[in-house]
Amino acid sequence: MVRQHSPDGTVGGFLAAMRRDPKGHEGSAYRHWMKDVMQPLNERAADIIVDHVNLLESAEIDPRLLQLVAHVSAYKVIISRWDRGAVGEWSAISYPNTLLDYVRTEFQRLKRRQAELLGIKRPAKTAGKHAAPSSANGDEAIVASKASQTRSKL
């Protein structure tokens, strides 16, 4: 979105243009992307967090998860204000930019734990790379193979 709509191709340039003229091209593009693309995805992520918080192994909720839920809630109000014409409104609660790092780390930890519980031995790292597929599809194939082996023993 930024590369498409920023006057100089940077996030900073996009934000400056958007705040300088909220009714201009950049502000209009931002509101469109937020309402139709980002907010629905963010709401889905926030719902998953709220609905499944009991599955977290940590005794405390990571602040990035709380920030995402707060960001999504704030933008529900902001979008409502945009719909009433207050297009210069912005949330004071930013999106947690390091959330992807947290999710990636937690996903890898969960996949290792899943493999451990299923008795799957994970190949050792070789030359800084995994010998086995590191994608979710690769892990799913390993789990499906192990499940198939278990069923055939029954």
pLDDT tens per residue across span 94-128: 999 999 999 999 999 999 999 999 998 876 665 55
- pTM: predicted TM-score of the whole model, two decimal places: 0.72
65 and 6 housed in the same domain: yes
Where among 45, 64, 95 does a domain terminate? Answer: 95
Q: Which of 96, 93, 91 is nearest to 78 (CA)?
A: 91
The reported pLDDT for the residue numbered 58 is 85
87 and 110 housed in the same domain: no
Quote the mean pLDDT of the chain: 85
Run of H or E residues at 50? helix 39-51
**CA-CA distance, 42 to 63, in Å (whole number)?**
16
The reported pLDDT for the residue numbered 7 is 92
102 and 90 housed in the same domain: no
Q: What is the pLDDT of residues 5-28, one digit of tens each?
A: 999 999 999 999 999 999 999 999
Pick from 52-61, 86-95, 119-128: least confident? 119-128
107 and 143 housed in the same domain: yes
79 pLDDT above the threshold of 60: yes
Q: Which of 102, 100, 82 is nearest to 91 (CA)?
A: 82
84 and 102 housed in the same domain: no
Contact 68, 99 (CB under 8 A): yes
Backbone angles phi, psi at 7, to 5 degrees: -65, -30
35 and 22 housed in the same domain: yes
55 pLDDT above the threshold of 60: yes
84 and 115 housed in the same domain: no
**CA-CA distance, 17 to 8, in Å (whole number)?**
10
Domain of 129, in residue numbers? 98-154
